[in-house]
């Protein structure tokens, strides 16, 4: 890919800046938490249809799927369309649903995680169709649902149940225009202690489930310092993320306590090994350790179910997909992008983690701004990302030609 081709793609993307920004602001303006993405999904579908995609439809879980081309090499661009909640609206410097444009940045919930990717992917493929789609490729775009609730579940459905088996996947989680090639996995579990309720005035007659839980919480904190480490992904980690108990009243001994555990899995760790560590905690006693599962109905009535296990994955740096996306970014940006990894989890747990389909990430936006009241993205980066997305299929097609 020559620098001249990259510069031409960037110049073409600049002419579409108003449309890209408008589409992103429109998506931000429509609330779309997990399982409630209907109106936002309809907005995305309408944009893909207006851009002349060859095929656009909702899958059985509500994900928007668009397609261009019909070649044998199948490339999937994925950006999840759902977002987390906004918390206290008064804590935001701008209305989180205004999609405010200020100082050449777009603000709002989803302005990093990860509505920019959907806008840029859509217009990047539009640019590519205008230049001429390589005949070797079919490119799908998925605006996937429920990712914030259960990363990977709905993209796994696309691959396993909708007849779309990509050869290569590019994710739109924020990378700040770097190329990311993996991240730690994770698992969600609970630990439950049981006691005997009694009136607070006769507490000696009861067994306090919270007191039984206290040393277990300390055990979890100590376990965090003994976990495996990896030079690329970093160490595994474990935290207690939530505590609850049941009690007949505020002046009674609690008869049940439960903690929720967030466990991040680095290279060499599995859900089975992590569960074994929890079951070996020194003060566990008769407490129960259980893996959490996901079972929710989507906005269009489809149901997503799976255990809350999200595998670790890493694609080697010398893999053609990593190098191909880096080549596309270099041609557009004029400098080679950093090659790195996410700190959080993505839909790559499905494509690469479960199915072994080569997967990378490239997108505008800074990961550390996701889920914060400072969520925003630079317009200049939207334009650059659009140009890079338009070039990626060309580079990957050229690789296949040899």
Nearest Cα residue to 106 out of 10, 13, 24: 24
* C-alpha span between 49 and 41 (Å, rounded): 12
Nearest Cα to Cα of residue 289 among 378, 397, 213: 213
Q: Distance (Å, rounded) from C-alpha 162 to C-alpha 74?
A: 14
- From 78, 136, 147, 149, the catalytic residue: 147
Of the candidates 192, 194, 193, 271, which has an alpha carbon nearest to the alpha carbon of residue 238? 271
Q: How many other C-beta atoms can be found within 10 angstroms of the C-beta atom of residue 71?
A: 16
Contact 127, 64 (CB under 8 A): no
Distance in angstroms (rounded) separating the CA atoms of residues 219 and 210: 14
| Cβ-based neighbour number of residue 240 at 10 Å | 17
82 catalytic, yes or no?
yes
The C-alpha atoms of residue 266 and residue 312 are separated, in whole angstroms, by 6
Within 13 A of 313's CA, how many CA atoms are on the CB side?
Answer: 25
- Whether 147 is a known active-site residue: answer yes
H/E stretch holding 304 reads strand 303-307
Q: Where do the DSSP E strands lie in 247-282? A: 256-265
What lies within 8 Å, CB to CB, of 357 at 6+ separation is: 159, 165, 166, 167, 168, 169, 351
- Please state whether beta strands 303-307 and 293-297 pair in parallel, antiparallel, or not at all (unpaired): antiparallel
Catalytic residue among 59, 78, 82, 136: 82
Q: Provide the annotated active-site residues.
A: 82, 147
């Amino acid at each position: 890919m020559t620098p001249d081709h990259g510069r031409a793609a960037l110049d073409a993307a600049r002419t579409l800046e108003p449309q890209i920004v408008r589409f992103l602001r429109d998506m931000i303006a429509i609330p779309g938490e997990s399982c409630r993405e209907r109106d936002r999904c309809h907005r995305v579908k309408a944009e893909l249809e207006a851009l002349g995609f060859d095929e656009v439809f909702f899958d059985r879980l509500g994900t928007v799927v668009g397609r261009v081309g019909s070649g044998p090499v199948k490339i999937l661009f994925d950006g999840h369309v759902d977002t987390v909640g906004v918390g206290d609206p008064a804590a935001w410097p701008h209305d989180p649903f205004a999609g405010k444009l200020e100082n050449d940045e777009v603000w709002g919930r989803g302005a990093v995680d990860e509505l920019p990717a959907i806008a840029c992917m859509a217009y990047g493929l539009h640019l590519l169709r205008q230049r001429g789609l390589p005949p070797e490729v079919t490119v799908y775009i998925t605006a996937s649902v429920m990712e914030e609730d259960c990363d990977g579940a709905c993209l796994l459905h696309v691959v396993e149940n909708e007849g779309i088996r990509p050869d290569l996947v590019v994710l739109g989680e924020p990378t700040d225009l770097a190329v990311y090639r993996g991240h730690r996995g994770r698992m969600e579990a609970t630990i439950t202690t049981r006691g005997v309720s009694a009136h607070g005035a006769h507490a000696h007659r009861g067994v306090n489930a919270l007191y039984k839980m206290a040393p277990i919480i300390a055990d979890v904190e100590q376990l965090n310092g003994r976990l495996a480490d990896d030079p690329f992904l970093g160490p595994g980690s474990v935290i207690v993320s939530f505590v609850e108990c049941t009690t007949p009243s505020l002046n009674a001994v609690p008869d049940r306590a439960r903690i929720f555990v967030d466990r991040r899995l680095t290279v060499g760790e599995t859900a089975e090994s992590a569960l074994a560590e929890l079951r070996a905690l020194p003060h566990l006693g008769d407490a129960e350790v259980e893996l959490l599962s996901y079972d929710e109905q989507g906005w269009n009535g489809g149901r997503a179910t799976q255990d809350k296990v999200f595998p670790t994955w890493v694609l080697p740096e010398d893999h053609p997909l990593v190098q191909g996306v880096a080549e596309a970014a270099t041609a557009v940006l004029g400098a080679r992008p950093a090659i790195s990894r996410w700190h959080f989890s993505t839909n790559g747990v499905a494509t690469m983690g479960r199915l072994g389909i080569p997967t990378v990430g490239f997108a505008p936006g800074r990961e550390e701004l996701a889920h914060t009241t400072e969520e925003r993205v630079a317009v200049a980066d939207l334009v650059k990302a659009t140009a890079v997305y338009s070039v990626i299929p060309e580079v990957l097609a050229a690789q296949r030609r040899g």
